[in-house]
Amino acid sequence: MNASVTPGRPVVEVRELVKDYVTRDARLRQHTARAVDGVSFEIAAGETFAIVGESGSGKTTVGRVLLKLTSATGGTVLFGGEEILEVPERRFRPERRHMQMVFQDPLAAFDPQTTIRSSLREFTRLSGIETRAEQNEAIAEAVRSVGLEPEIADRRPSQVSGGQLQRLSIARSLLPEPELLFLDEPTSSLDVSIRGQIVNLLLDLQERNDLAYLLVAHDLRVVYAMAQRVAVMYLGQFVEVGARDQVYANARHPYTRGLLEAAELDEPPRRGDPVRLVGEISEEAAAKPGCRLTLRCPFAVQRCEEPQPLRETAAGHFVRCWRAVEQPVEIGLPPNE
Amino acid sequence: MSAAARTAPPVLPTEPEAAGSGSVPVLDVVDLTVGFGSAAKRRSIPLQGIHLQVAAGERMALVGESGSGKSLTAAAVLGLLPDGAEVIRGSVRLDGEELVGASERRLRDLRGRRMAIMFQNPRASLNPVLTVGGQIAEVIRVHGEASRKESWSQAVDLLAEMGIPNAARRSKDYVHQYSGGMAQRAALAMALSCRPDLLIADEPTTGLDATLQQQVLELVVERVDSRDASLLLITHDIAVARSHCERTTVMYAGRVMESGPTASVTGDPRNPYTDALLKAFGTVEARRMYAIGGVVPTLTGELGECAFADRCPRAAPECRDGVPELRSLDDRRVACVKA
Amino acid sequence: MRIVSPRAPGAAPAGGGRVVAAARERPVRVLVAVATAAVLLTALVWDPEWRSLRVVLTVLAILVAPTVWDSQNRVIRPAVAVMAALILLALIGPLFTRDPLMLNVGESLATPGGDLWFGTDQHGRDIFARVIHGARLDLGVGFSAAALAVIVGMPLGALAVFRGGLFDSVLLRISESFQAFPTLLLALGIVAAVGPSIPILIFIIAIVNVPVYLRLTRSAVAPIVNADFVLAARCAGQRELTILFRHILPNVKQVVLAQFSVNVAWAIQILAALSFVGLGVPVPTPEWGAMVREGYEQLVYGRWWVSVFPGVAILAAVLTLNQLSDRVRHGT
């Protein structure tokens, strides 16, 4: 992965991140589910790195572990060159200003019992603004920067529309002046006609503030509009990573091809035959040593049961499928570049 | 809406194709207007004169954003309006039979035999404490003459037909033991178990992942077609309408904006709202996405102008002279003075 | 956008806003009323002869009572009204009655009527005066015991979810063992050890109620402890306790408040039961449960009034409090 092209200095570097969830069944036996299984990537300032995948792929967990909202099982996260996973919560709290999050459902992201202003006020304290007047000034400026009138902050979350509330959620996340924003499905709870407004706003804000974005989404249109690099995740693993156009126009992994096919995108034109995936994601497949897609993949053969490493097919383009690398023509792909 | 238009029933342009076939449409919704609150204290009027015809064996998509009233239209058709809502005027006919004002008993009977619904959440239509096969068998038994044993084997066949592997064994499971895709297949089996003339599918795949969405939608279309039933597919995604339905009706703010054959509505939209919706779904561009400014209006009273005028790129003064009537234009109907 | 509305323009949104505000306000108003009443009654229980403050308290009670009226001042809800009346009676009633402790052997077991509305008991004491004074004691003990249980149980329950693991398990096991222990047996043990007194009774009743709040809060907090707005507060660098008190507890208060009035009713029943078996308040303090017991022997001679009037008082208080709980739970 170090070979991938990243402009500028990486804001965050993630190496071999692992996250297990331990549950107990009725007989108190322990079960370990590996939600994230050895994920590595880095994001530069001003860059958007997107993780796409179906629900259950572990994509949101990656972001939450990265922001230390849940603990990691293994791996390292370097933020601005410094390891953060080992830092105890008490010491890390003031550092939270550097990394913020935008939630999928803005209505769930605001405390229903307080006004929007008081939710925003909490975030101004992170950047050391103590007096009320200065806080209100910072809030007004942040609310204006997302295209709303400052008075709207005096309402309750239930009294503004979904699109407006998502703008306010973005304003809130920018108050501490972070370098990294984790965007967890920022448009999927919004109406189609509002979706574009939010995407464009996020793009403008990124340009203005040189922000690094970790975008987690299943809407491939939104990802195409926002990301420079895209990782496709399936059951805890990246199965394909590359520059946006490599992944969209020259998808190599059968899963990526199936996702693109299902999304019915008109643009950009894709190389290779369309792929139909059958069945649905099942966590049992995550326990297998080999490829986890074999039950759904039209190209699965015996050798797919062996462990599959992420292999580079072109500069910065990685695929976790031996057939895509060694037998592209047989699975309906143009030969490797 | 002007006073004259409200007193006299609007003269309806006949749907070109439905009229051509000469038969009565399976579903015929005319000027359906639904409000919340009593006549004296009207809180909102979320449906303002809906026209919708679904012919026998036809697949109709009802497309709209949240707040457009598409799900409320389905609820009105089924006679399942939420508390506090009432039909102010208009009519809903199923195979020519008027449903507005029909008795609850008659509606219940029709809901079981002639029309069925599939919800976004499949678990809403399946009872969690009964086995999946058991409750489908029960529906078959109530509506037909089948014995206990026959109805069970029919239920298993139905589940197998919907693509549930090991149907004989899985029919003894409960719905929580099914994955999301399987549960939606079981819900489809349940909906089709009474052989309805009309299946209303309300966002049946919205909660599912993209690869699964396609599988389930294709199944719905295939199974409805094989029974010569009609489908009313409610969706927010105009791309879904484009790939699965012959005709499309686009709704916005409690009104029908455009209606006609899917190929022409999505290929050559005449209403600026349809056009905007297509652009929002269609064009994929780097570093910019098509955006419609403004917000969906809240319908506290009857509209006095085109509901989309505030957000429309082609808005002109005449758009504010009244609510545009739904008028015939070539092969479709459009509610836009500029079309 | 222009909308042809049958009403004046702008009326609908404004009206809508008001309804929303009122719905949110109402539990707060009830909370204020209940809390104030609890404080006042507790003060009185500690020193029933706090004469100098009586006037002030009466004025306060009159100020508090309207806050439980319907917010649009249209309807006085029956349960709220009855409860307000009971509290008022408990607060100012004793100013207008005879001395509940005054013995008058010549007038023993007088039938209700005339000046003696509820008759007298075997010692010739005015039952009306005793029921009114008993209201002060029973409601006071009930409210203070329930309040104490909330104050301890609610944060503990929330903390149990927050900390999880061993802390949660240990707390749950302790609360289970308290719940498994029969209340009367526990009371018997403690009263036998330290002797009966009102603070001890409040303490006992509170202790058996703490697990109720602990478990209730725990189950109400569990679904929201990982809610997005809690995650957002963590992103803001808030400390655990701040998040707990500012974001989590305010979001479960309605559930807990609904339990509160049921619990007051329950506390009154426990107190009455303890007094009935002789473990409650010391004689001759007027207390409803104790009065029912005293009058119980008279029932066979047809002298019903001695125990029926305090019994009806218990019934009225318990029913009203349960009604109140239902109202809070359904947010009406």
In chain A, what residues touch C17 (CB-CB under 8 Å)?
159
Q: Which of C231, C238, C239 sits opposite A69 (nearest CB)?
A: C231
Q: What is the average pLDDT value for chain A, to the nearest integer?
A: 90
Q: Do A262 and B211 touch (CB under 8 A)?
A: yes
Q: Which helix (H) or strand (E) segment is C104 a member of?
A: none
In chain B, what residues touch C3 (CB-CB under 8 Å)?
297, 299-304
Q: What is the pLDDT of residue B73?
A: 94
Q: What is the pLDDT of residue B16?
A: 45
Q: Which of C3, C6, C12 sits opposite B303 (nearest CB)?
A: C3
**How many Cβ pairs closer than 8 A exist between chain B and C?**
34
Chain B interface, mutation test: which of A280, A282, A283, A293, most B Cβ atoms within 10 Å? A280
Q: Do C7 and B307 touch (CB under 8 A)?
A: no
- Reply yes or no on whether the pLDDT at A1 is more than 50: no
In chain C, what residues touch B310 (CB-CB under 8 Å)?
1
Q: Do A103 and C228 touch (CB under 8 A)?
A: yes
Q: What is the pLDDT of residue B56?
A: 93
Q: Which helix (H) or strand (E) segment is C37 a member of?
A: helix C11-46
Read off the amino acid at residue B324.
Answer: P
Per-residue pLDDT reduced to its tens digit, C154-207 = 888 988 888 877 888 888 898 888 888 887 788 888 888 887 788 888 888 888
Q: What is the pLDDT of residue A38?
A: 93
Q: What is the pLDDT of residue A25?
A: 67
Q: Do A262 and B290 touch (CB under 8 A)?
A: no
Q: What is the pLDDT of residue B1?
A: 40
Task: Give me the average pLDDT of each 10-residue run along chain B (339 residues).
Answer: 42 45 82 90 89 94 90 92 91 93 90 88 87 91 83 93 91 90 92 92 86 90 94 92 94 94 94 90 76 81 88 90 90 90
β-pair type (B198-202, B115-118): parallel
Phi, psi (deg, nearest 5) at residue A242: 180, 180
Angle in degrees, 0-180, between the axes of helices C198-221 and C127-163, rounded to the nearest 10 = 40
Is A128 in the B-facing interface, judged by CB distances under 8 Å?
no
- What residues does A31 pair with on adjacent strands? A23
CA distance C290 to chain B (A): 49
Of C136, C146, C133, C132, the residue nearest C41 (C-alpha)? C136
Of A104, A108, A101, the residue nearest A185 (C-alpha)? A104
Per-residue pLDDT reduced to its tens digit, C193-250 = 887 788 888 888 888 889 988 999 999 998 888 899 999 999 998 988 889 888 988 8
CA distance B1 to chain C (A): 8
Q: What is the pLDDT of residue C13?
A: 36
In chain C, what residues touch B43 (CB-CB under 8 Å)?
12, 16
Band (pLDDT 50/70/90 cuts) for residue C331 is: low
- Reply yes or no on whether the pLDDT at C293 is more than 60: yes
Band (pLDDT 50/70/90 cuts) for residue C52 is: very low
Band (pLDDT 50/70/90 cuts) for residue C69 is: very low
- The order of strands in the sheet holding A30-44 is A30-44, A10-24, A74-79, A82-83
In chain B, what residues touch A194 (CB-CB under 8 Å)?
291-292, 295
Q: Determine the Cα–Cα distance for residues C259 and C150; give it in Å rounded to an integer.
A: 10
Q: Which of A225, A226, A262 sits opposite B213 (nearest CB)?
A: A262
Q: Do B301 and C12 touch (CB under 8 A)?
A: yes
- Reply yes or no on whether the pLDDT at A181 is more than 80: yes
Q: What is the pLDDT of residue C39?
A: 65
Q: Do A69 and C250 touch (CB under 8 A)?
A: no
Chain A, nearest residue to B242 by Cα: A264
Q: What is the pLDDT of residue C6?
A: 40
CA distance C160 to chain A (A): 18
Higher pLDDT, C54 or A193: A193
Report helix, strand or coil for A93: helix
Q: Determine the Cα–Cα distance for residues C267 and C206; give it in Å rounded to an integer.
A: 8
CA distance C89 to chain B (A): 41
Band (pLDDT 50/70/90 cuts) for residue A9 is: confident
Q: What is the pLDDT of residue A2?
A: 39
- Here the tokens at position C121 are 């008991």
DSSP A317: E
Q: Which of C232, C239, C250 sits opposite A109 (nearest CB)?
A: C232
- Here the tokens at position B302 are 């009857």
Chain C, nearest residue to B302 by Cα: C4
Is A108 in the C-facing interface, judged by CB distances under 8 Å?
yes
CA distance B5 to chain C (A): 14
Chain B, nearest residue to C1 by Cα: B310
In chain A, what residues touch C227 (CB-CB under 8 Å)?
108
Higher pLDDT, C93 or B203: B203
Higher pLDDT, C282 or A1: C282
Of C111, C146, C127, C148, the residue nearest C287 (C-alpha)? C127
β-pair type (B97-98, B85-94): antiparallel
CA distances from A250 to A226, A234, A310, A313, A334 (A): 18, 18, 17, 11, 9
Map tokens 């002797």 to a residue: C195
Per-residue pLDDT reduced to its tens digit, C301-324 = 878 888 888 888 888 888 888 777
What mean pLDDT comes out for the span A190-198?
87
CA distances from A10 to A63, A214, A312 (A): 16, 12, 21
Burial class (CB in 10 A: 0-12, 13-18, 19+), A46: middle
Q: Which of C235, C239, C247 sits opposite A111 (nearest CB)?
A: C247
Chain C interface, mutation test: which of B36, B255, B300, B323, most C Cβ atoms within 10 Å? B300
- Reply yes or no on whether the pLDDT at A84 is more than 90: yes
For chain B, list the domains and their CATH numbers.
26-126+178-334 (3.40.50.300)
Q: Determine the Cα–Cα distance for residues B44 and B82; give it in Å rounded to an integer.
A: 13
What whole-number percentage of chain C has pLDDT above 70?
Answer: 73
**How many Cβ pairs closer than 8 A exist between chain A and C?**
61
Which residues contact residue B252 at a Cβ distance below 8 angstroms, ignoring those fewer than 6 apart?
B64, B65, B68, B273, B296, B307, B308
Number of H helices, E strands in chain C: 12, 1
